[in-house]
């Protein structure tokens, strides 16, 4: 089965759903918000959208409150800029994109409250705003020629269109690791280069001249793709699978034939690909780091509790997020019977890992203008 048919975040609103395990990505979006606002101001300065319906695409939107939070933040900035310039706020078309297995139904259930809040905050004469779903791969065409003013994507573009070819030498590993042969590192880098180049060309066709893209990706601090901030969490899954192999719960050939389809590029790689493609001006590239404990801020309900104090939920929350992101892939390859054991072991291994090692995540925000 092709990746496009099985790749999606966990659906629903249960304990292992992405909707209930996306707090960390919300923190990332908050950190990236100033760069998004700057991009929208740049569009306004070019007079691109004042007399049009402002067309917004959110690529790899997933499901849950974060998705509509992005749309709401963008609308707020545009409304503010229109008031500053004594212009009528345009109508909005928000196109939510993700793969076909995404939980769009969960998003649709949030829309009545989203529309109600807009009218309450902005007034009955505001808008209107139209929200639609545009399912499909962002490695294919999604929208008509020169139709989008702003394309946003958060923590999605690092997903590859397919598992890289030539990973046969990757034994008892499911992603890049410190023991990976050179050809494995090269295969992942080559696949990302091809995918991101295609992504740029497709979006070039779909964005109006002077329109912008703001892309937020998982990244890494070193040019070395085996650095800790690139792969440490995925090694927890490898360790869990190897423990299950010793217990006879999975087969060695099943581990050897499974590889995770994503790649976290260094900012220099992104610069190189964008400049080589040449169709977008690279306005800014900004990286920032977050400690993994940011994921557990919402657990500190007691105001007297220091956020630096160790939290026993770190391992559980980590395993829940990893499960929310990867469970459909593992279920498709290994079957349902091993899933509960796999993520229980992942929770235990994550708890032990976080007890002795500070884990950081590097993100990069890229802002582009169509030439």
Which DSSP state fits 194? H
Q: Using pLDDT thresholds of 50, 70 and 90, give the confidence band for residue 146.
A: very high
Q: Using pLDDT thresholds of 50, 70 and 90, give the confidence band for residue 271.
A: very high
pLDDT for res 307: 38
Residue 102 has pLDDT above 80, yes or no: yes
What stretches of 219-364 show up as alpha helix (H) in DSSP? 228-246, 252-256, 267-277, 314-334, 339-356
The closest of 120, 207, 147, 158 to 28, measured between CA atoms, is: 158
What stretches of 46-103 show up as alpha helix (H) in DSSP? 65-84
pLDDT for res 217: 92
When mean pLDDT is compared across 80-84, 94-98, 149-153, the lowest value belongs to 80-84
Q: Which residues pair with residue 95 across a beta bridge?
A: 57, 132
Count how many residues are written for the chain. Answer: 371
Residue 51 has pLDDT above 80, yes or no: no
Cα–Cα distance, 235 to 180 (Å, whole number): 12
Q: Using pLDDT thresholds of 50, 70 and 90, give the confidence band for residue 298.
A: very low
Q: Which CATH number fits domain 3-370: 3.65.10.10, 3.40.50.150, 2.60.130.10, 3.90.1200.10?
A: 3.40.50.150
User: What tokens does 342 get?
Assistant: 């796999």
Residue 348 CA, distance from chain mean position? 25
Residue 164 has pLDDT above 70, yes or no: yes
pLDDT for res 92: 92
Cα–Cα distance, 131 to 261 (Å, whole number): 29
pLDDT for res 14: 61
pLDDT for res 193: 96
What does the domain layout of the chain look like in residue ranges? 3-370
Q: Which residue has the higher pLDDT, 101 or 269?
A: 269
Q: Using pLDDT thresholds of 50, 70 and 90, give the confidence band for residue 215.
A: very high
For helices 182-206 and 267-277, angle between their N-to-C axes, nearest 10 degrees: 50
Residues in contact with 29: Cβ distance below 8 Å, sequence separation at least 6, in sequence order: 66, 69, 70, 73, 154, 216
């Amino acid at each position: 089965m092709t990746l496009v048919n099985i790749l999606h975040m966990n659906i629903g609103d249960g304990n292992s759903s992405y909707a209930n395990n996306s707090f960390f990505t919300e923190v990332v979006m908050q950190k990236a918000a100033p760069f998004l606002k700057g991009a929208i101001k740049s569009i306004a300065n070019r007079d691109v959208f004042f007399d049009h319906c402002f067309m917004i695409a959110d690529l790899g939107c997933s499901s849950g409150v974060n998705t509509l939070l992005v749309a709401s933040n963008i609308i707020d900035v545009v409304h503010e800029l229109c008031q500053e310039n004594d212009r009528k706020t345009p109508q909005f078309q928000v196109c939510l994109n993700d793969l076909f297995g995404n939980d769009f139904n969960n998003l649709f259930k949030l829309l009545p409250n989203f529309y109600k809040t807009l009218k309450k905050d902005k007034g009955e004469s505001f808008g209107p705003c139209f929200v639609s779903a545009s399912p499909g791969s962002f490695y294919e065409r999604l929208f008509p020629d020169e139709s989008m003013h702003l394309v946003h994507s958060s923590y999605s573009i690092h997903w590859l269109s397919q598992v890289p070819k030539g990973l046969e030498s990757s034994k008892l590993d499911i992603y890049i690791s410190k023991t990976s042969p050179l050809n494995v590192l090269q295969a992942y880098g080559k696949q990302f280069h091809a995918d991101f180049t295609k992504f740029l060309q497709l979006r070039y066709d779909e964005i109006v001249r002077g329109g912008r893209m703001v892309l937020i990706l998982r990244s890494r601090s070193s040019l070395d793709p085996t650095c800790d901030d690139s792969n440490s969490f995925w090694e927890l899954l490898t360790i869990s699978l190897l423990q299950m192999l010793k217990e006879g719960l999975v087969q060695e050939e099943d581990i050897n034939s499974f590889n995770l389809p994503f790649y976290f590029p260094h900012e220099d790689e992104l610069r190189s690909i964008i400049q080589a493609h040449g169709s977008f001006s690279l306005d800014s590239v900004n990286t920032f780091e977050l400690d993994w404990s940011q994921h557990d801020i919402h657990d500190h309900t007691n105001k007297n509790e220091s956020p630096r104090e160790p939290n026993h939920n770190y391992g559980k929350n980590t395993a829940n997020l990893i499960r929310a992101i990867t469970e459909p892939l593992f279920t498709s390859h290994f079957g349902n019977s091993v899933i509960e054991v796999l993520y229980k072991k992942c929770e235990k291994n994550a708890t032990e890992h976080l007890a002795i090692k500070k884990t950081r995540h590097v993100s990069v925000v890229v802002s582009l203008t169509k030439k």
